[in-house]
Amino acid sequence: MKKRCLTIVIFLALFAGYRPGVATAQSGARMADIGNEVRGIFASKCASCHGPDLPKPKGRFGYVLDLRRIAENPEMVIPQRPDESELWVLIERDEMPPSDSPHGALTPEQKETIRAWIAAGAPDASPFLMDPSLSIRSEPIPMASIKMDPVDRAVRWLGKFHLLLLHFPIALVLAAGFAEFLSLRQRNSAPSELVRYCISLGALAAIPTAALGWLHAASGNGASSPQILMAHRWLGTAAAVWLVITAVYVERDSQRGARSPRVRFLLLCGVLITALVAHLGGLLSNGEDFFRY
């Protein structure tokens, strides 16, 4: 009888202490907490380059404080699967934010918080718990005030020349392709001096352009679109090699005084590869949604 009474008392005590929805509310509170914590990390470490109030955010990614929008972008976050989420891959590799970021790299604790946030389903931040100070305009910090290693500073400085040179090989190769098209249309079998001139200069300009492109990417540019960046770098390198080979064959045809079908094939492929590299570079500079508007 005593055991039965004791069992009833324990059952009633547990039943009285249980309130439907409390566990769910506590779980929701924890989700909101980690959402606000991640938003605070993004505000302090990432908003200077990807903040919503910046006129030209890097990579046209200016919604770093909008957790819901980030979670709904499968190219960045796959909820509950951090190892498959591009955002976590970049963070784990210290590519975002880079080591020379205005506010420094993420701490191990901050990284684990972001990983836990993705594993928890990438919940949104609660507007009731949001820190008002995190919604102010995020002004970029001048690069002169950032302490960088001399080698990193030299790489960043040299990489900028990629942006100055890249238009020359593109224009020259396209001009060579157009001149060859006109020559083919006129059924002229003699090599065009204009094609020879343009493709030779284009090949020479493509070599330093491709090399400086690797330095430009190494300084953190294009990290918001790693797949496009990788394709752009390798295709750009392949284009430079291809154009050099094409220029050699064009020179041989000029010496022989006759145009061969092989050269026209090489030239056509060179034009197509160069145009594709230029397109990928445009997506890196203006964002993947450039043609959607």
Mean pLDDT of 248-252: 92
Confidence of residue 65 (pLDDT cuts 50, 70, 90): confident
pLDDT band at 129 (very low <50, low <70, confident <90, very high): very low
The pLDDT value recorded for residue 267 is: 93
pLDDT tens for each residue of 90-117: 888 888 887 767 777 888 899 999 999 9
* Count of domains for the chain: 2
Residue-range definition of the domain harbouring residue 36:
22-130
Are 126 and 200 in a shared domain? no
Residue 76 has pLDDT above 70, yes or no: yes
Residues 159 and 283 in one domain: yes
pLDDT band at 246 (very low <50, low <70, confident <90, very high): very high
pLDDT of 216 reads 85
Q: Specify whether 80 is located in the same domain as 166.
A: no
Confidence of residue 130 (pLDDT cuts 50, 70, 90): very low
Longest C-alpha distance within the chain, in Å?
114
pLDDT class of 220 with cuts at 50, 70, 90: low
> Nearest to residue 281, comparing CAs of 204, 166, 187?
166
Q: Cα(first)–Cα(last) distance of the chain, in Å?
A: 78
Q: Name the DSSP class of 123.
A: P
- Dihedral, CA of residue 211, residue 217, residue 221 and residue 223, to nearest 10: 150
Residue 207 lies in a domain: yes
Instruction: Name the 3-class secondary structure at 224.
Output: coil
Query: Percent of the chain having pLDDT more than 70?
Result: 75
Residues 155 and 124 in one domain: no
**For residue range 137-165, what is the model confidence (pLDDT) as tens digits?**
444 444 444 455 677 778 888 888 998 89
Residue-level pLDDT at 9: 40
Judge residue 260's burial from the number of C-beta atoms within 10 Å of its C-beta, 0-12 exposed, 13-18 middle, 19 or more buried. middle
Q: What is the pLDDT of residues 167-201, one digit of tens each?
A: 999 999 999 999 999 988 888 877 888 999 999 99
Considering the domain architecture, whether residues 202 and 103 belong to the same structural domain is answered as no
Name the average pLDDT for the chain. 78
Q: Say what the pLDDT of residue 209 is.
A: 95
Residue 200, in any domain of the structure? yes
Tokens 């995020």, located at residue: 138
Higher pLDDT, 9 or 133: 133
Q: Do 222 and 96 lie in a common domain?
A: no
Do both 102 and 161 map to the same domain?
no
Question: How much is the pLDDT for 62?
Answer: 80
Shared domain check, 196 and 235:
yes
CA dist., res. 154 & res. 152, Å (int): 5
Task: Answer whether 132's CB lies under 8 Å from 194's CB.
Answer: no
Q: Are residues 170 and 91 in the same domain?
A: no
Q: What is the pTM of this model?
A: 0.55
Contact 227, 91 (CB under 8 A): no
